[in-house]
């Protein structure tokens, strides 16, 4: 049964939302577009168009009206800023990931800092304008994993999501899903806008970021994601993200892994930002955590249903 789209009664207009490893915010949407920045950890945003993933050097833009859900990997300090229509119009009309400059990071942190509640609205408006000035000329980051529509591509996607280290060729995978290599190549190009090789690399990089955020070593992450050795993994990772995988590995002892700190910021009135849900009766939605325990799972490949 498809997940219903909900309203989050405690969505923050500007503030922080601490999330534990495996926490998921269920499917919902907002009338206004918003920026989400993981000051720590890794955060994914999933819509019907695919998944965007952001470590602490990136942020995700989601326009108003897009149904989406979030998942946190590692202890994640999620910072949220909603934008007025005049500023949102300067950003893409679809979700996107952007690199975070030092100035952009400080503006996001300042706007969402719980000690910043006395800042005048005019000053907040200026900080939002600074954020747009930093984002508008910047190219989108290639951290989008498109969602296939064709049943055969969906079956192939499921195989590789289950085991990113699977090195089967496109011809071999085609045998499993009932399509020729030529047909699959065409579908990847027409539906996903990239080659099979590019898509599989994106999938593996997404998976690598989640493993690193959970505290897995670079060596184990490379093996779990299908790279022949750590060196080739580091090269591919650095080419996309501009730094080595070790930069994103969470020290399992460095962050809280049990009860997160209190949420901060100003609650956003549901009538302002949040689209009324379908077939929903106003009850609050709990953050979901399908990952038992409070430490990185002992499995080499992390999955939402993994158990230690």
Q: Give DSSP secondary structure letters for 205-267.
A: HHHHHHHHHTT--HHHHHHHTT-SSHHHHHHHHHHHHSS-GGGGPPPTTTS--SSPPPPEEEE
Q: What is the pLDDT of residue 78?
A: 92
The answer, yes or no, to whether residue 281 has pLDDT greater than 50, is no
Q: What pLDDT is recorded for position 279?
A: 27
pLDDT of 114 over the 70 cut? no
Alpha-carbon gap, residue 80 to 289, rounded angstroms: 20
- pLDDT the model gives residue 275: 35
- What does the pLDDT read at residue 252? 56
pLDDT in tens, 82-100: 999 999 999 999 999 998 9
Answer whether residue 267 shows pLDDT above 70.
no
CATH of 148-248, one of 3.40.630.10, 1.20.210.10, 3.30.450.20, 1.10.10.60: 1.10.10.60
Quote the pTM value: 0.74
**Digit-coded pLDDT (tens) for 239-261:** 988 889 988 887 655 544 444 44
Q: How far apart are CA 225 and CA 213, in angstroms?
A: 14
Q: Return the higher-pLDDT residue of 110 and 139.
A: 110
3-state secondary structure 108-150: HHHHCCHHHCCCCHHHHHHHHHHHHHHHCCCCCCCCEEECCCC
Q: What fold is seen in the domain 12-143+257-277?
A: Jelly Rolls (2.60.120)
pLDDT of amino acid 207: 93
Between helix 196-213 and helix 230-241 the angle, nearest 10°, is: 100
pLDDT above 60 (res 124): yes
Of 13-17, 179-183, 226-230, 246-250, which gets the smallest average pLDDT?
13-17
| Domain boundary assignment for the chain | 12-143+257-277, 148-248
| Equal fold, 12-143+257-277 vs 148-248 | no
Q: What confidence score (pLDDT) does residue 107 get? A: 94
| Maximum average pLDDT range among 28-37, 200-209, 289-298, 299-308 | 200-209
Residues in a beta bridge with 38: 78
Higher pLDDT, 303 or 244: 244
Is residue 204 predicted with pLDDT exceeding 80?
yes
- Residues 196-224, mean pLDDT to the nearest whole number: 93
Per-residue pLDDT averaged across 208-219, rounded?
91
Lowest-pLDDT choice from 9-18, 46-55, 102-111, 225-234: 9-18
Q: Average pLDDT over the chain, rounded to whole?
A: 78
Least trusted range by pLDDT, from 110-114, 229-233, 296-300: 296-300
């Amino acid at each position: 049964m498809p997940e219903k789209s909900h309203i989050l009664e405690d969505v923050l207009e500007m503030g922080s939302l601490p999330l534990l490893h495996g926490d998921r915010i269920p499917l919902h949407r907002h009338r206004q577009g918003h920026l989400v920045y993981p000051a720590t950890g890794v955060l994914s945003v999933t819509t019907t168009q695919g998944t965007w993933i952001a470590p602490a050097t990136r942020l995700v833009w989601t326009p108003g009206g897009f149904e989406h859900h979030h998942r946190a990997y590692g202890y994640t300090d999620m910072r949220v800023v909603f934008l007025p229509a005049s500023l949102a119009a300067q950003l893409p009309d679809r979700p996107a990931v952007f690199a975070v400059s030092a100035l952009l990071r400080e503006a996001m942190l300042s706007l969402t800092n719980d000690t910043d509640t006395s800042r005048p609205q005019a000053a907040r408006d200026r900080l939002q304008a600074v954020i747009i000035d930093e984002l508008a000329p910047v190219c989108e980051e290639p951290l989008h994993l498109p969602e296939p529509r064709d049943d055969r591509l969906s079956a192939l996607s499921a195989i590789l999501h289950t085991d990113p280290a699977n090195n089967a060729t496109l011809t071999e995978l085609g045998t499993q899903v009932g399509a020729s290599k030529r047909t699959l190549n065409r579908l990847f190009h027409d539906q996903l806008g990239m080659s099979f090789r590019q898509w599989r690399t994106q999938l593996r990089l997404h998976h690598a970021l989640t493993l690193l955020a959970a505290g897995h070593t670079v060596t184990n992450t490379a093996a779990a994601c299908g790279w022949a050795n750590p060196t080739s993994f580091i090269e591919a990772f650095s080419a996309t993200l501009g730094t080595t995988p070790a930069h994103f590995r969470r020290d399992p002892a460095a962050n809280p892994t049990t009860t997160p700190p209190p949420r901060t910021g100003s609650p956003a009135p549901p009538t302002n930002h949040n689209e009324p849900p379908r077939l929903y009766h106003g009850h609050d939605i709990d953050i979901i955590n399908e990952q038992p325990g409070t430490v990185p799972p002992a499995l080499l490949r992390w999955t939402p249903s993994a158990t230690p």
